Structures are given as structure tokens and as C-alpha cells.
């Protein structure tokens, strides 16, 4: 009996010691095995990266115009171009764009599915940008006709001529940035060798005409315009007409009958 009591006391002491040790282990930091513990988060501090500026775009320069080489078929004043050089006929309209008359001309050309060439004046371009866009949108060709219809421009210095033509081209490209301007027409047809040379150096063909129905004259009737154009046009003709610079009612009235006849006889083109 005495031995049994001793054994029981010993067992009780062992149990108490085990429980105490277990509790001690639970309360002691780091007592868990590394396999059972979760890793402490690690904060990595890095030096702030120096900002890398985006690459600077290379400056885009306007391509240098390719000088025009005169063609042996040109027969206009001072070496200008007066015929198309093919069997095609080209209608050209000067002095616009005009909000009063250019829309009528465009509508009539559209009705007959005909393309033409518009020789535009710089001041009118700046005043009527939507008409310039409409001309281009319809597939017509643009031609430089000086800044303010300066008939004596060809007698100015080379510097003044070049600045005038550049100013007009810039006004056009402010509205239609990728506009092709391959022609220059001297107002009044008052060509000089100097203005012809400079236009060609700037990549523009000096554009004259071979048929002039005098539609610019206020006394010219629409019936006369029609008869003149139909009676003088032949294969290769370049026809001068006007959509700006004054009252162009007679030109507008004559255009439909002219196109009705010309489309049955010729291939009509916008100058390339």
C-alpha cells in the first residue's frame, strides 16, 4: 500500500511537469520549429529609379520639292504648259474658292462625274477652308494661283516670288496637310521666265491654257462661254474658267451644257 502511494505521487509529478513544460513552450517565442512557422514578411527597400524620359521624336522636315523638268510638248508663254500632252482635256477653275460659286461648280462636276483642277488664291483659301477640303475630298487637283492674285508677280524679285508661292502653299497645307500642289498658274497669264523657273524649282508645273472663253469678263454671256469652249476644244486642250473673283453666274449656267457635250467627245481629267 505504501509503495502504491509513492508510485501515484511520482506519476502525478510527471504529469504536472509535462503540462507545465507544454505551456512554457507555447508562450516562448521562437519555440516552434521553422517548418511549422510562417515566414515574417520582408520589406525590400530600393532606391527610386531615375525617370527615363521618352525618346525625343526626330524633327520631321518637309521634303525638299523635286524640281520640274520642262516637257517639249509645252507651248505656253515663257515655257509654260498649255496642253495636257495627251488626248485628255482638262477643265481648270481660277480665283476661288468662292462660297457663292464654288459649291455650284462642285455640284455640277459631281453630277457629271468629272474631275477638274482648281487654281486657288491664298487669301481665298484662308477665308474658305471648308471649300478647300471639299475640293480635295471630291478628288480634284489643287493649283497655286498666288497669294492675292498678283498679276505682276512675275516681275518681282526671285525672293518675293518664292515667298508668295510658299505662303500660298502653306495656307493650303494648313488645311490639307498632305495636299499635292503640283501646278502654279500666274494670274492674268502674265508669265515671265523668272516666275516659270521658280515655280519649277518649287516642284510646280507652270500651268497656262489653250482655251479661254473670257468668262472673267462681266459682259460675256453664258451662251458665248458655251459656244467658245465647245468650238475651240480639241484633244489635249486645257480650258480656263473661273469659280471665284466676281459674279460667276454665267460660268455656272454654262458648265452643265459644256460638260454634257465634252463628256461625249473627250476624256476629261484632273491634271495629275
Active site residues: 94, 242
What is the secondary structure of 234-246 as a DSSP string? Answer: -TTBEEEEESSSS
Helix spans in the chain (H): 2-27, 102-111, 122-127, 129-137, 158-175, 193-201, 222-232, 249-265
Report the candidate in 82, 134, 124 with the shortest Cα–Cα distance to residue 242: 124
Sign, Cα dihedral of 229, 235, 237, 241: positive
3-class DSSP state of 35: coil
Write a three-state SS string for 125-172.
Answer: HHHCHHHHHHHHHCCCEEEECCCCCCCCHHHCCHHHHHHHHHHHHHHH
Buried b (16+ CB within 10 A) or exposed e, 72-94: eebebebbbbbbbeeebbbbbbb
Amino acid at each position: 500500500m505504501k509503495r502504491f502511494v509513492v508510485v501515484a505521487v511520482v506519476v502525478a509529478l510527471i504529469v504536472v511537469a509535462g503540462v507545465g513544460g507544454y505551456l512554457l513552450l507555447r508562450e516562448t517565442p521562437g519555440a516552434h520549429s521553422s517548418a511549422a512557422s510562417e515566414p515574417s514578411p520582408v520589406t525590400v527597400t530600393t532606391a527610386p529609379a531615375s525617370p527615363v524620359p521618352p525618346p525625343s521624336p526626330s524633327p520631321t522636315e518637309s521634303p525638299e520639292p523635286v524640281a520640274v523638268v520642262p516637257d517639249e510638248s509645252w507651248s505656253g508663254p515663257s515655257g509654260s504648259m498649255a496642253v495636257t500632252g495627251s488626248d485628255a482635256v482638262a477643265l481648270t477653275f481660277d480665283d476661288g474658292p468662292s462660297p457663292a460659286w464654288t459649291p455650284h461648280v462642285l455640284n455640277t462636276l459631281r453630277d457629271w462625274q468629272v474631275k477638274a483642277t482648281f487654281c486657288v488664291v491664298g487669301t481665298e483659301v484662308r477665308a474658305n477652308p471648308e471649300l478647300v477640303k471639299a475640293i480635295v475630298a471630291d478628288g480634284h487637283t489643287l493649283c497655286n494661283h498666288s497669294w492675292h492674285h498678283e498679276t505682276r508677280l512675275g516681275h518681282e524679285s526671285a525672293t518675293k516670288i518664292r515667298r508668295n508661292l510658299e505662303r500660298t502653299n502653306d495656307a493650303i497645307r494648313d488645311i490639307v496637310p498632305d495636299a499635292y500642289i503640283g501646278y502654279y498658274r500666274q494670274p492674268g497669264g502674265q508669265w515671265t521666265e523668272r516666275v516659270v523657273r521658280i515655280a519649277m524649282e518649287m516642284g510646280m508645273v507652270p500651268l497656262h491654257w489653250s482655251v479661254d472663253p473670257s468668262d472673267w469678263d462681266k459682259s460675256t454671256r453664258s451662251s458665248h462661254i458655251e459656244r467658245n469652249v465647245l468650238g475651240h476644244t480639241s484633244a489635249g486642250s486645257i480650258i480656263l474658267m473661273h469659280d471665284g473673283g466676281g459674279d460667276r453666274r454665267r460660268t455656272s449656267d454654262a458648265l452643265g451644257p459644256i460638260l454634257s457635250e465634252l463628256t461625249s467627245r473627250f476624256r476629261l481629267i484632273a491634271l495629275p
